[in-house]
Amino acid sequence: MSKQLNIGLFGFGCVGQGLYEVLSNSVKFKADFQKICIKHPEKKRILDQQLFTTNKWDILNDPTINTVIELIDDPQDAYIIVTEALKRNKNVVTANKKLVAEHLEELLELQRKHHVSLIHEAAVCGGIPIIRTLEEYYDNERLTSITGIFNGSSNYILTKVFKENQSYQGALEQAQKLGFAETDPTLDVGGFDPKYKLVILALHAFGIILKPKDVLNCGIQNISSIEKNVYDDSSLQIKLTPSIQRLPNGHIQAFVLPQLIGTTHPLYNINNEYNAVIVEGIFSNEQLFIGKGAGAHPTGSAVLSDISALCYDYKYEYKKYYHHQNISLDNSAKIKLYFSGEKQNLEKIFGEDRAIEVENGGVVLAEESIQWVIDHQKQIEALSLFVAQIHNEALVPLQKWLKKYELVYALT
Protein backbone atom coordinates (compact mmCIF):
# COMPACT_ATOMS: atom_id res chain seq x y z
CA MET A 1 0.00 0.00 0.00
CA SER A 2 1.17 3.51 -0.79
CA LYS A 3 2.45 5.42 2.25
CA GLN A 4 1.48 9.03 3.05
CA LEU A 5 4.56 11.22 2.69
CA ASN A 6 4.80 14.45 4.67
CA ILE A 7 7.69 16.22 3.04
CA GLY A 8 10.18 18.77 4.31
CA LEU A 9 12.20 20.19 1.42
CA PHE A 10 15.65 21.76 1.77
CA GLY A 11 16.65 24.03 -1.13
CA PHE A 12 14.47 25.77 -3.69
CA GLY A 13 17.11 26.57 -6.31
CA CYS A 14 17.66 24.95 -9.70
CA VAL A 15 16.79 21.38 -8.63
CA GLY A 16 14.28 22.31 -5.88
CA GLN A 17 12.21 24.40 -8.27
CA GLY A 18 12.70 21.84 -11.02
CA LEU A 19 11.23 19.23 -8.68
CA TYR A 20 8.29 21.51 -7.93
CA GLU A 21 7.63 21.99 -11.66
CA VAL A 22 7.95 18.28 -12.44
CA LEU A 23 5.61 17.50 -9.53
CA SER A 24 3.09 20.10 -10.69
CA ASN A 25 2.96 18.37 -14.09
CA SER A 26 2.63 14.88 -12.68
CA VAL A 27 -0.86 13.58 -13.40
CA LYS A 28 -0.93 10.63 -11.03
CA PHE A 29 1.51 11.45 -8.25
CA LYS A 30 0.72 14.21 -5.78
CA ALA A 31 2.97 15.25 -2.92
CA ASP A 32 2.83 18.39 -0.84
CA PHE A 33 5.69 20.17 0.81
CA GLN A 34 4.91 20.91 4.47
CA LYS A 35 7.87 23.28 4.80
CA ILE A 36 10.72 24.47 2.58
CA CYS A 37 14.04 25.52 4.12
CA ILE A 38 16.13 28.01 2.16
CA LYS A 39 19.04 30.33 2.91
CA HIS A 40 18.00 33.80 1.73
CA PRO A 41 14.56 34.84 3.08
CA GLU A 42 14.60 38.06 1.05
CA LYS A 43 14.45 36.22 -2.33
CA LYS A 44 11.11 36.33 -4.17
CA ARG A 45 9.51 32.86 -4.35
CA ILE A 46 6.87 31.41 -6.65
CA LEU A 47 5.13 29.74 -3.69
CA ASP A 48 3.40 31.17 -0.62
CA GLN A 49 6.03 32.83 1.60
CA GLN A 50 4.46 31.07 4.64
CA LEU A 51 5.86 27.75 3.41
CA PHE A 52 9.46 28.93 3.73
CA THR A 53 11.80 28.94 6.70
CA THR A 54 15.52 29.52 7.19
CA ASN A 55 15.63 27.36 10.30
CA LYS A 56 16.48 23.75 9.48
CA TRP A 57 15.20 22.55 12.86
CA ASP A 58 11.64 23.62 11.87
CA ILE A 59 11.72 20.59 9.57
CA LEU A 60 14.09 18.28 11.43
CA ASN A 61 12.24 18.59 14.75
CA ASP A 62 8.75 18.36 13.26
CA PRO A 63 7.50 14.84 14.12
CA THR A 64 4.79 15.01 11.45
CA ILE A 65 7.39 15.25 8.67
CA ASN A 66 8.47 11.73 7.73
CA THR A 67 10.40 12.51 4.53
CA VAL A 68 13.26 14.96 3.94
CA ILE A 69 14.37 16.03 0.46
CA GLU A 70 17.84 17.60 0.59
CA LEU A 71 18.64 19.80 -2.44
CA ILE A 72 20.98 22.50 -1.14
CA ASP A 73 24.38 23.54 -2.45
CA ASP A 74 26.20 23.65 0.90
CA PRO A 75 27.86 20.28 1.62
CA GLN A 76 28.55 21.02 5.32
CA ASP A 77 24.94 21.90 6.10
CA ALA A 78 23.73 19.10 3.85
CA TYR A 79 25.68 16.64 6.01
CA ILE A 80 23.97 17.91 9.18
CA ILE A 81 20.53 17.89 7.56
CA VAL A 82 20.85 14.37 6.13
CA THR A 83 22.40 12.72 9.19
CA GLU A 84 20.05 14.45 11.67
CA ALA A 85 17.02 13.51 9.56
CA LEU A 86 18.08 9.85 9.46
CA LYS A 87 18.68 9.88 13.23
CA ARG A 88 15.11 11.18 13.65
CA ASN A 89 13.78 8.20 11.65
CA LYS A 90 12.94 10.25 8.55
CA ASN A 91 13.57 8.83 5.08
CA VAL A 92 15.81 11.04 2.98
CA VAL A 93 16.28 11.78 -0.72
CA THR A 94 19.41 13.71 -1.69
CA ALA A 95 21.05 14.88 -4.92
CA ASN A 96 24.36 15.67 -3.24
CA LYS A 97 27.10 13.41 -4.64
CA LYS A 98 29.96 14.84 -2.56
CA LEU A 99 28.08 14.32 0.68
CA VAL A 100 27.11 10.75 -0.20
CA ALA A 101 30.53 9.76 -1.58
CA GLU A 102 32.44 11.14 1.39
CA HIS A 103 30.25 9.58 4.09
CA LEU A 104 29.13 6.28 2.59
CA GLU A 105 30.07 4.11 5.54
CA GLU A 106 28.38 6.35 8.12
CA LEU A 107 25.26 6.80 5.96
CA LEU A 108 24.90 3.04 5.53
CA GLU A 109 25.20 2.54 9.28
CA LEU A 110 22.61 5.27 10.06
CA GLN A 111 20.14 3.66 7.67
CA ARG A 112 20.70 0.24 9.25
CA LYS A 113 20.50 1.51 12.82
CA HIS A 114 17.40 3.68 12.38
CA HIS A 115 15.58 1.43 9.84
CA VAL A 116 15.30 4.28 7.35
CA SER A 117 16.13 4.83 3.72
CA LEU A 118 18.51 7.27 2.03
CA ILE A 119 18.14 7.27 -1.74
CA HIS A 120 20.16 9.34 -4.15
CA GLU A 121 19.39 8.65 -7.81
CA ALA A 122 19.75 12.35 -8.73
CA ALA A 123 23.29 12.48 -7.31
CA VAL A 124 24.67 10.42 -10.20
CA CYS A 125 24.14 11.47 -13.82
CA GLY A 126 20.92 13.45 -13.18
CA GLY A 127 18.18 11.99 -15.35
CA ILE A 128 19.83 8.60 -16.09
CA PRO A 129 18.23 6.02 -13.78
CA ILE A 130 21.47 4.19 -13.11
CA ILE A 131 21.49 3.49 -9.37
CA ARG A 132 18.22 1.65 -9.17
CA THR A 133 19.19 -0.17 -12.36
CA LEU A 134 22.37 -1.39 -10.66
CA GLU A 135 20.53 -2.20 -7.42
CA GLU A 136 17.60 -4.01 -8.98
CA TYR A 137 18.43 -5.18 -12.49
CA TYR A 138 22.11 -6.04 -12.07
CA ASP A 139 21.86 -7.18 -8.45
CA ASN A 140 22.88 -10.74 -9.28
CA GLU A 141 25.17 -10.11 -12.22
CA ARG A 142 28.95 -10.03 -11.82
CA LEU A 143 29.81 -6.73 -13.41
CA THR A 144 33.20 -6.25 -15.04
CA SER A 145 33.30 -2.52 -15.68
CA ILE A 146 31.50 0.80 -15.52
CA THR A 147 32.63 3.82 -17.43
CA GLY A 148 31.05 6.78 -19.19
CA ILE A 149 30.68 10.53 -19.12
CA PHE A 150 29.42 11.62 -15.72
CA ASN A 151 30.01 15.37 -15.94
CA GLY A 152 27.93 17.47 -18.31
CA SER A 153 29.97 20.67 -18.07
CA SER A 154 33.31 19.16 -19.03
CA ASN A 155 31.63 17.26 -21.86
CA TYR A 156 30.04 20.51 -23.01
CA ILE A 157 33.43 22.27 -22.95
CA LEU A 158 35.16 19.44 -24.84
CA THR A 159 32.42 19.43 -27.50
CA LYS A 160 32.74 23.19 -28.02
CA VAL A 161 36.56 23.06 -28.16
CA PHE A 162 36.82 20.13 -30.57
CA LYS A 163 33.75 20.47 -32.75
CA GLU A 164 33.12 24.22 -32.75
CA ASN A 165 36.66 25.58 -32.50
CA GLN A 166 35.92 27.55 -29.33
CA SER A 167 38.64 28.38 -26.83
CA TYR A 168 38.71 26.37 -23.61
CA GLN A 169 38.14 29.51 -21.52
CA GLY A 170 35.26 30.71 -23.73
CA ALA A 171 33.56 27.31 -23.58
CA LEU A 172 33.97 27.18 -19.78
CA GLU A 173 32.40 30.62 -19.36
CA GLN A 174 29.51 29.59 -21.60
CA ALA A 175 28.97 26.40 -19.55
CA GLN A 176 28.84 28.55 -16.41
CA LYS A 177 26.37 30.99 -17.97
CA LEU A 178 24.11 28.11 -18.98
CA GLY A 179 24.19 26.78 -15.42
CA PHE A 180 25.96 23.48 -16.27
CA ALA A 181 29.21 24.23 -14.46
CA GLU A 182 29.59 24.47 -10.68
CA THR A 183 30.46 27.91 -9.25
CA ASP A 184 33.95 26.50 -8.63
CA PRO A 185 34.64 24.93 -12.06
CA THR A 186 37.58 22.86 -10.73
CA LEU A 187 35.01 20.45 -9.34
CA ASP A 188 33.88 19.72 -12.91
CA VAL A 189 36.94 20.18 -15.12
CA GLY A 190 39.31 18.76 -12.48
CA GLY A 191 37.35 15.50 -12.39
CA PHE A 192 36.19 15.75 -8.74
CA ASP A 193 32.46 15.71 -9.51
CA PRO A 194 32.71 12.56 -11.69
CA LYS A 195 34.93 10.98 -9.01
CA TYR A 196 32.22 11.34 -6.35
CA LYS A 197 29.75 9.74 -8.76
CA LEU A 198 32.19 6.93 -9.51
CA VAL A 199 32.62 6.24 -5.79
CA ILE A 200 28.82 5.97 -5.39
CA LEU A 201 28.51 3.65 -8.40
CA ALA A 202 31.38 1.49 -7.10
CA LEU A 203 29.27 0.67 -4.04
CA HIS A 204 26.11 -0.17 -5.97
CA ALA A 205 27.86 -2.04 -8.79
CA PHE A 206 30.77 -3.78 -7.07
CA GLY A 207 29.93 -3.60 -3.36
CA ILE A 208 33.09 -1.68 -2.46
CA ILE A 209 33.34 1.52 -0.43
CA LEU A 210 36.10 3.64 -1.95
CA LYS A 211 37.40 6.76 -0.26
CA PRO A 212 37.37 9.69 -2.72
CA LYS A 213 40.89 10.68 -1.63
CA ASP A 214 42.22 7.26 -2.75
CA VAL A 215 40.79 7.53 -6.26
CA LEU A 216 42.92 9.31 -8.89
CA ASN A 217 41.27 12.21 -10.68
CA CYS A 218 42.98 14.16 -13.46
CA GLY A 219 40.98 16.72 -15.39
CA ILE A 220 40.89 18.55 -18.69
CA GLN A 221 42.33 21.90 -17.52
CA ASN A 222 45.63 21.46 -19.39
CA ILE A 223 44.14 20.51 -22.73
CA SER A 224 45.82 22.51 -25.50
CA SER A 225 46.03 23.08 -29.25
CA ILE A 226 48.01 19.81 -29.47
CA GLU A 227 44.85 17.78 -28.75
CA LYS A 228 42.91 19.96 -31.18
CA ASN A 229 45.51 19.13 -33.87
CA VAL A 230 45.15 15.41 -33.05
CA TYR A 231 41.38 15.76 -33.52
CA ASP A 232 41.63 17.76 -36.76
CA ASP A 233 44.11 15.31 -38.32
CA SER A 234 42.91 11.95 -37.01
CA SER A 235 39.37 12.51 -35.60
CA LEU A 236 40.50 11.20 -32.19
CA GLN A 237 38.57 12.94 -29.42
CA ILE A 238 39.09 13.54 -25.72
CA LYS A 239 36.33 12.64 -23.24
CA LEU A 240 36.58 12.89 -19.46
CA THR A 241 35.80 9.34 -18.40
CA PRO A 242 35.60 7.89 -14.92
CA SER A 243 36.22 4.16 -14.96
CA ILE A 244 35.91 1.19 -12.61
CA GLN A 245 37.15 -2.16 -13.77
CA ARG A 246 37.34 -5.59 -12.23
CA LEU A 247 40.91 -6.85 -12.66
CA PRO A 248 41.81 -10.49 -13.42
CA ASN A 249 42.81 -10.84 -9.72
CA GLY A 250 39.22 -9.93 -8.70
CA HIS A 251 40.13 -6.53 -7.24
CA ILE A 252 38.99 -3.16 -8.56
CA GLN A 253 40.81 -0.48 -10.52
CA ALA A 254 39.09 2.93 -10.36
CA PHE A 255 40.15 6.34 -11.65
CA VAL A 256 39.00 9.48 -13.46
CA LEU A 257 41.12 10.40 -16.47
CA PRO A 258 40.53 12.08 -19.79
CA GLN A 259 40.49 9.44 -22.50
CA LEU A 260 41.57 9.55 -26.15
CA ILE A 261 38.91 7.69 -28.09
CA GLY A 262 38.35 6.82 -31.74
CA THR A 263 35.24 7.15 -33.88
CA THR A 264 34.06 3.61 -33.08
CA HIS A 265 33.98 4.17 -29.31
CA PRO A 266 30.40 4.22 -27.90
CA LEU A 267 31.05 7.58 -26.18
CA TYR A 268 32.31 9.26 -29.35
CA ASN A 269 28.99 10.87 -30.24
CA ILE A 270 27.88 11.79 -26.71
CA ASN A 271 28.14 15.56 -26.93
CA ASN A 272 27.39 18.79 -25.09
CA GLU A 273 25.88 18.41 -21.62
CA TYR A 274 24.81 14.80 -22.20
CA ASN A 275 25.98 12.05 -19.85
CA ALA A 276 26.38 8.36 -20.56
CA VAL A 277 27.03 5.26 -18.51
CA ILE A 278 28.43 2.04 -20.00
CA VAL A 279 27.80 -1.00 -17.81
CA GLU A 280 29.52 -4.24 -18.71
CA GLY A 281 28.72 -7.59 -17.15
CA ILE A 282 30.01 -11.09 -17.75
CA PHE A 283 26.68 -12.25 -19.18
CA SER A 284 24.85 -9.05 -20.11
CA ASN A 285 27.87 -7.68 -22.02
CA GLU A 286 27.90 -3.97 -22.76
CA GLN A 287 24.88 -1.69 -22.13
CA LEU A 288 24.90 2.03 -22.84
CA PHE A 289 22.64 4.51 -21.01
CA ILE A 290 22.44 8.08 -22.33
CA GLY A 291 20.65 11.10 -20.89
CA LYS A 292 20.86 14.60 -19.50
CA GLY A 293 23.17 14.55 -16.51
CA ALA A 294 22.05 17.86 -15.04
CA GLY A 295 19.48 20.61 -15.26
CA ALA A 296 16.36 21.47 -13.29
CA HIS A 297 13.92 19.08 -14.95
CA PRO A 298 16.02 15.95 -15.60
CA THR A 299 17.36 16.12 -12.03
CA GLY A 300 13.95 17.07 -10.59
CA SER A 301 12.48 14.06 -12.37
CA ALA A 302 15.08 11.75 -10.75
CA VAL A 303 14.21 13.22 -7.32
CA LEU A 304 10.50 12.71 -8.00
CA SER A 305 11.14 9.09 -8.89
CA ASP A 306 12.95 8.63 -5.55
CA ILE A 307 10.09 10.31 -3.64
CA SER A 308 7.60 8.07 -5.38
CA ALA A 309 9.72 5.01 -4.46
CA LEU A 310 9.56 6.06 -0.80
CA CYS A 311 5.77 5.76 -0.95
CA TYR A 312 6.45 2.02 -1.17
CA ASP A 313 9.17 2.09 1.52
CA TYR A 314 11.88 1.52 -1.05
CA LYS A 315 15.40 0.92 0.30
CA TYR A 316 18.66 0.13 -1.47
CA GLU A 317 19.63 -3.36 -0.36
CA TYR A 318 23.38 -2.96 -1.10
CA LYS A 319 23.45 -6.70 -1.76
CA LYS A 320 26.87 -6.64 -3.35
CA TYR A 321 28.33 -4.82 -0.34
CA TYR A 322 26.75 -6.98 2.33
CA HIS A 323 27.39 -10.29 0.55
CA HIS A 324 30.77 -9.96 -1.21
CA GLN A 325 33.24 -7.90 0.74
CA ASN A 326 36.58 -9.34 -0.28
CA ILE A 327 37.64 -6.82 -2.87
CA SER A 328 39.90 -3.81 -2.63
CA LEU A 329 41.23 -0.97 -4.76
CA ASP A 330 44.25 -2.04 -6.81
CA ASN A 331 46.12 0.66 -8.71
CA SER A 332 48.96 -1.53 -9.97
CA ALA A 333 47.73 -2.55 -13.45
CA LYS A 334 49.43 -0.70 -16.29
CA ILE A 335 47.44 1.32 -18.82
CA LYS A 336 48.43 3.14 -22.01
CA LEU A 337 48.87 6.85 -21.41
CA TYR A 338 49.27 9.99 -23.51
CA PHE A 339 51.02 13.07 -22.07
CA SER A 340 51.34 16.46 -23.72
CA GLY A 341 52.68 19.88 -22.82
CA GLU A 342 55.85 21.90 -23.19
CA LYS A 343 58.59 19.56 -24.46
CA GLN A 344 61.10 20.63 -21.80
CA ASN A 345 58.48 19.98 -19.09
CA LEU A 346 57.80 16.46 -20.40
CA GLU A 347 61.55 15.84 -20.36
CA LYS A 348 61.69 16.64 -16.65
CA ILE A 349 59.62 13.52 -15.99
CA PHE A 350 60.45 11.24 -18.91
CA GLY A 351 64.00 12.19 -19.90
CA GLU A 352 65.25 13.72 -23.15
CA ASP A 353 64.75 10.84 -25.56
CA ARG A 354 61.06 10.17 -24.82
CA ALA A 355 59.28 13.41 -25.73
CA ILE A 356 58.21 13.69 -29.37
CA GLU A 357 58.29 17.25 -30.63
CA VAL A 358 54.98 18.24 -32.24
CA GLU A 359 53.50 21.56 -33.29
CA ASN A 360 53.21 23.77 -30.17
CA GLY A 361 54.86 21.33 -27.75
CA GLY A 362 55.62 17.70 -27.12
CA VAL A 363 53.94 14.35 -26.64
CA VAL A 364 54.95 11.22 -24.72
CA LEU A 365 53.25 7.83 -25.00
CA ALA A 366 53.84 5.61 -22.00
CA GLU A 367 52.57 2.51 -20.29
CA GLU A 368 52.35 3.10 -16.56
CA SER A 369 50.17 2.12 -13.60
CA ILE A 370 47.57 4.36 -11.99
CA GLN A 371 49.76 4.28 -8.89
CA TRP A 372 52.61 5.74 -10.99
CA VAL A 373 50.30 8.62 -12.05
CA ILE A 374 49.25 9.18 -8.41
CA ASP A 375 52.93 9.25 -7.38
CA HIS A 376 53.73 11.83 -10.10
CA GLN A 377 50.46 13.80 -9.96
CA LYS A 378 51.85 16.86 -8.14
CA GLN A 379 54.71 17.10 -10.65
CA ILE A 380 52.35 16.59 -13.62
CA GLU A 381 50.13 19.41 -12.32
CA ALA A 382 53.04 21.74 -11.52
CA LEU A 383 54.40 21.27 -15.06
CA SER A 384 50.91 21.88 -16.57
CA LEU A 385 50.98 18.57 -18.43
CA PHE A 386 47.86 17.04 -19.92
CA VAL A 387 47.41 13.32 -19.34
CA ALA A 388 44.90 10.94 -20.93
CA GLN A 389 44.36 7.21 -21.15
CA ILE A 390 44.62 5.88 -24.72
CA HIS A 391 41.67 3.66 -25.53
CA ASN A 392 42.52 0.59 -27.65
CA GLU A 393 41.07 1.80 -30.95
CA ALA A 394 42.84 5.16 -30.62
CA LEU A 395 46.38 3.81 -30.44
CA VAL A 396 47.01 3.12 -34.15
CA PRO A 397 45.54 6.45 -35.40
CA LEU A 398 47.55 8.24 -32.70
CA GLN A 399 50.78 6.55 -33.78
CA LYS A 400 49.98 7.39 -37.41
CA TRP A 401 49.46 11.00 -36.38
CA LEU A 402 52.82 11.02 -34.62
CA LYS A 403 54.48 9.68 -37.81
CA LYS A 404 53.67 13.06 -39.27
CA TYR A 405 56.44 14.28 -37.04
CA GLU A 406 58.66 11.48 -38.33
CA LEU A 407 59.28 10.12 -34.90
CA VAL A 408 57.46 7.03 -33.85
CA TYR A 409 57.50 5.78 -30.33
CA ALA A 410 56.92 2.04 -30.55
CA LEU A 411 54.40 1.10 -27.89
CA THR A 412 54.01 -2.61 -27.49
Ligand X SMILES: NC(=O)c1ccc[n+]([C@@H]2O[C@H](COP(=O)([O-])OP(=O)(O)OC[C@H]3O[C@@H](n4cnc5c(N)ncnc54)[C@H](OP(=O)(O)O)[C@@H]3O)[C@@H](O)[C@H]2O)c1
User: If binding is defined by CB under 6 A, does position 21 make contact with ligand X?
Assistant: no
- Distance separating alpha carbons of residues 159 and 171, to the nearest angstrom: 9
The site string for ligand X over 383-402 (x = CB under 6 A, - otherwise) reads --------------------
Does residue 20 interact with ligand X by CB under 6 A? no
Closest-CB residue for ligand X?
Answer: 13
Considering CB under 6 A, how many residues would be counted as binding ligand X?
A: 24
**Minimum distance from residue 111 beta carbon to ligand X (Å):** 19
Q: Which helix (H) or strand (E) holds 367?
A: strand 361-369
- Work out how close the CB of 101 gets to ligand X at its nearest, in angstroms, rounded to a whole number: 11
Q: Which residues pair with 252 in a beta bridge?
A: 246, 329
Does 303 contact ligand X by CB under 6 A?
no
Smallest gap from residue 179 Cβ to ligand X (A): 7
Is 77 a binder of ligand X (CB under 6 A)?
A: yes
Q: Residue 40, interface with ligand X (CB under 6 A)?
A: yes
Nearer to ligand X, 36 or 388 (CB): 36
How do beta strands 7-10 and 67-70 pair?
parallel
Of 74 and 280, nearer to ligand X (C-beta) is 74
The interface mask with ligand X, positions 45-74, x = CB under 6 A, is --------------------------xxxx
Separation in Å, CA 172 to CA 185, 195, 199, 256: 8, 19, 25, 19
Provide φ and ψ at 168, rounded to 5°: -60, -45
Q: Which of 14, 69, 201, 346 binds ligand X (CB under 6 A)?
A: 14
> How far, in Å, CA of 208 to CA of 329, rounded?
8
For residue 30, the number of C-alpha atoms closer than 13 Å in the C-beta half-sphere is 1
CA angle in degrees (0–180, nearest 5) for 213-214-218 = 80
In angstroms, give the least distance from the CB of 323 to ligand X: 30
Binding pattern for the stretch 159-178 against ligand X, x by CB under 6 A and - elsewhere? --------------------
Helix (H, G, I), strand (E, B) or coil at 266: coil
Q: What angle do CA 61, 64, 68 make, to 5 degrees?
A: 70
Orientation of helix 14-24 relative to helix 296-310, angle to 10°: 70
Torsion of CA 28, 33, 34, 35, to 10 degrees: 180
Query: Residue 68 or residue 210: which is nearer to ligand X going by CB?
Result: 68
What residues contact residue 270 under an 8 Å CB cut-off, 6+ apart? 149, 155, 239, 276, 290
**299 vs 93: CA distance, rounded Å:** 12
Task: Give the residue, chosen from 15, 68, 118, 171, that forms a contact with ligand X under the rule CB under 6 A.
Answer: 15
Is 197 among the residues known to form the active site? Answer: yes
Residue 13 interacts with ligand X (CB under 6 A): yes or no: yes
Q: Write the CB contacts of 64 (distance below 8 Å, at least 6 apart in sequence).
A: 6, 34
Which is closer to ligand X, CB of 18 or CB of 341?
18
- As a whole number of angstroms, the distance between CA 391 and CA 366 comes to 13
Least spacing, CB of residue 120 vs ligand X, in Å:
9
Residue among 197, 239, 320, 336 flagged as catalytic? 197
3-state secondary structure of 213: helix
Q: What are phi and psi of 199, to 5 degrees?
A: -60, -40
Region from 14-22, 201-209, 315-323, 364-372 binding ligand X, contact rule CB under 6 A: 14-22
Binding mask 101-140 for ligand X (x = CB under 6 A): ---------------------x---x--------------
Q: By CB under 6 A, which span of 7-15, 58-66, 158-166, 335-343 interacts with ligand X?
A: 7-15
Residues that bind ligand X (CB under 6 A): 10-16, 37-40, 43, 71-74, 77, 95-96, 122, 126, 294-295, 299
List active site positions: 197
